Amino acid sequence: MARVEQVLLTDALKLFDYFKHFPQDPVHLIIESEVRQANGMATTFPKNKIILYTMPPEAESNLLASDDWVRTLVLHELTHVIQGDMTSGFPGLMRNIFGGLFKWNLFTPRWFSEGSAVWAETAFTAGGRNRYVMNNLQLDRYLLQPGSCDNISCLDDAPTPPYQGLSYYLGGKFMEYLENKRPGTVRCLMKDNSANVPFFLYLSFRGCLNQEIEDSFLEFIASYRLDLIKKQKNFAYLPWSKQAERL
């Protein structure tokens, strides 16, 4: 509990500052020691709540992407709370009258909510799953398959490994690409979508990027595959000793 408190005191402000949002409602933090899994969960409907499991990550856990898995986990789940707590426009008006039942901002595709949280845990720490070598190798192998992920619907419905993990791995890379292209994009998408009714995220892509959501994704995936091809070519020309170092 002390470590979680330290992370909240030293790192939470980075998220609040970037997203320009401090939760309107209290955030209830629950530390769960009975669950034998290194993970957590967050919800904002109808109350803001984060549950963190105390089990440390095992060898196959992608939380090993960071030297400090507690920091990664806390910031990941806190990003979910920040997103879900944002309300404006019609949902914001109704929330003022009826309370948390109108906190709809987490009703988005999994690739957006999880991708945004993976982006945040990577952008605001020295670790994060966007930097995890094993995730990246699995993602590269998947995208080299013919016909893999040629439209945005694949992100939440991958028929082959990494299955549901793709919404984290590739969703995080997608958010990173958009943020690098135009700083503040993740914040803009979350904030703009907070005025939408559920499942109208595409309107926020139009508002923040002046681009259709599918066009944004296809541009990203083409760029990612091009970089992957270049990386393979450069790798092939390295001496075997250097190739081993890269692996």
- Segment 86-103, tens digit of pLDDT: 999 999 999 999 999 999
Looking at the predicted structure, is the pLDDT value of residue 57 above 50?
yes
Q: What is the side-by-side strand order in the sheet with 27-32? A: 27-32, 48-53, 40-43
The model's confidence at residue 162, banded by pLDDT at 50, 70 and 90, is: confident
Q: What is this structure's pTM?
A: 0.91
CB 151 within 8 A of CB 214: yes
The model's confidence at residue 214, banded by pLDDT at 50, 70 and 90, is: very high
Looking at the predicted structure, is the pLDDT value of residue 49 above 60?
yes
Distance CA 175, CA 42 (A): 20
- Segment 18-36, tens digit of pLDDT: 999 999 999 999 998 887 7
Average pLDDT, rounded, for the chain: 89
Looking at the predicted structure, is the pLDDT value of residue 233 above 60?
yes
Question: How many residues can be counted in the chain?
Answer: 247
